[in-house]
Structure 1
């Protein structure tokens, strides 16, 4: 899995930023795509996975070598636990299998809410900020709109944006999919929030979390 800071090339980042600028020429809305490595560290998955594997290895080893002695089991378990913990931490595919998909949904949603505030999307003049969060580890996309938009645009409208990006990620065309999603956001907002003569670009056009 590529880290967030390498997920898009410099040229692709510029292309996305240009797409945001183009979409914002049609609307007073502020669109902020954001890419993060992970929405949460999921330490419980590491503990449960490492504990289970170390327990199995410790029991088998003590039974096969030490005559079921606890003095063989304990050191093998402890060494195995820390070893498997490191292995799981550095194996995203394995770690992902140890986590309930519902937990992914909750953590990505929470990350989107926190990022919405941290990036200042709640401070736009007309409450028209939109965050498009791409969380790489979870393979999830979350779209969050401010109160001014939600008052006029049904929340399920953003399912279309999520689908566009998810399909692009699966097809290996994440840059064009993100640009398409941004352009679609601009079209959806244009009807209710046309650009004003004194509009300014209040927020960054792309955020990549290190």
Structure 2
């Protein structure tokens, strides 16, 4: 968890975006009963953590559902407009590939770096960068 927090903090010195990482062991049984998806849960967490509430509309949530080794990325409209869903999906699939190989920590850090590369391209830091959201990963 410290490595994840450090990777987020380090990346945010290079861009004006905000990255949050949330991990959840499993969806709650009622959510499963009603057919709720990891994507729907990720959107809910994006809202709960207020990742959408950044000055430049460039917050990004990386959500990991451990039970399924499923990764979802939800991005605010500013950065999503620049990257698009296919760009986020590619990062998710790469992370999941690392997880299948048992490389969980490495997969997460590489995913953070991949998200950061988009943020650097579209929101490069050029001065003081206020940290709008916590870097610390959250366990749900």
Shift of 1:24: 1.1
What stretches of structure 2 of length at least 5 have no aligned partner?
A: none
C-alpha distance 27-42 of structure 1, shift in aligned 2 (>3 A): same
Q: Is 1:155 matched up with 2:91?
A: no
Distance 2:80 2:128 in 1: 23
Query: CA contact under 8 A between 1:23 and 1:185: conserved in structure 2?
Result: no
Distance 2:76 2:32 in 1: 32
Secondary structure of the residue that 1:32 maps to in structure 2? strand
Superposed CA deviations along residues 165-184 of structure 1, whole A, max 9, x for unmatched, are: 10121111100110011011
The residue number in structure 2 matching 1:164 is 94
Structure of greater Rg: 1
Q: Is 1:27 matched up with 2:27?
A: no
The residue number in structure 1 matching 2:138 is 207
Query: CA contact under 8 A between 1:35 and 1:136: conserved in structure 2?
Result: yes
Shift of 1:38: 1.6
What stretches of structure 1 of length at least 5 have no aligned partner?
A: 1-12, 46-102
Q: Is 1:116 matched up with 2:46?
A: yes
Shift of 1:197: 2.0
Query: CA contact under 8 A between 1:40 and 1:107: conserved in structure 2?
Result: no
Higher helix share: 1
Shift of 1:138: 2.7
Higher strand share: 2
Listed as ranges, the matches of 1:1-210 within 5 Å are 13-42=1-30, 103=35, 106-205=36-135, 206-209=137-140
